[in-house]
Amino acid sequence: MRKYIAEFIGTFFLILTVGCTVIPGSPGVIPPLAIGAALMVMVYAAGHISGGHLNPAVTLGVWIRGRCETKDVVPYWIAQLLAGIAAALVAVFLVGKSGTPMEIKNLPVAFVAELLFTFALVYVVLNAATAKGNAGNSFYGLAIGMTVMTGAFAVGSISGGAFNPAVAVGAAVMKLLSFSQIWVHIVADLAGGLVAGLAFKFLNPDDK
């Protein structure tokens, strides 16, 4: 139970940061920097308890890689999604308003953007936080947070830069994304996590 609570707390503060920076339209580089930093610190906070996935796509990739028990996958997903919804409601309360849904005009392009940068995120998680060659390192949280920051800068204007189904659901609750379009994020992000898990296993066949 403790690991599921740790996943909830970490995901909650990540998505709360999304809402409190994006809904008010914080200028320039603030949202990507804040979101990347929030992910970094929450990964460090939850890593020793739950692995600090904070993202259903990461959980999927870690499961494929063999570092997450099958019985934990669905409870992790439930904790992450509930945290996304709860954080969205709190963010709207704190900010005093909901956002304006982003109109994704080219769904195939948004799909590819989400898939590629979710792949990058999960690939970094697997190699920085689970690979035997990097065991015991202290940089894994920074690497993970910087990957999300990079993706937000690179394709945030194209897809919204969720790279995380729980973030997509939370963003839809906050009206930052349209419910009718979040399937793009959910499917692409899970696909990115799946491919990253398979890529890790292919590149590291002896790292069980």
Model pLDDT for residues 100-135, shown as the tens digit of each residue: 999 899 999 999 999 999 999 999 999 999 999 999
> What is the mean predicted confidence (pLDDT) over 145-150?
98
CA-closest candidate to residue 39, choices 168, 120, 140: 140
Position 195 pLDDT exceeds 90 = yes
CA distance 92 to 125: 30
Least confident range of 5-14, 25-34, 109-118: 25-34
% of residues, the chain, pLDDT over 90:
96
Position 203 pLDDT exceeds 80 = yes
% of residues, the chain, pLDDT over 70:
100
3-state helix, strand, coil in the chain (%, to 5): 75, 0, 25
pLDDT of residue 26: 86
Question: What's the CATH number for 2-203?
Answer: 1.20.1080.10
State the pLDDT confidence band at 28, using cuts at 50, 70 and 90.
Answer: confident
Q: Given its phi and psi angles, is residue 168 left (phi above 0), alpha (psi -120 to 50 degrees) or beta?
A: alpha
CA distance 6 to 63: 18
Residue 24, token pair as written in the block: 């008010």
| Higher per-residue pLDDT: 131 or 28 | 131
48-80: per-residue pLDDT in tens? 999 999 999 999 999 999 999 999 999 999 999
pLDDT of residue 34: 97
pLDDT of residue 208: 82
pLDDT of residue 142: 97
152-182: per-residue pLDDT in tens? 999 999 999 999 999 999 999 999 999 999 9
> What is the mean predicted confidence (pLDDT) over 80-90?
98
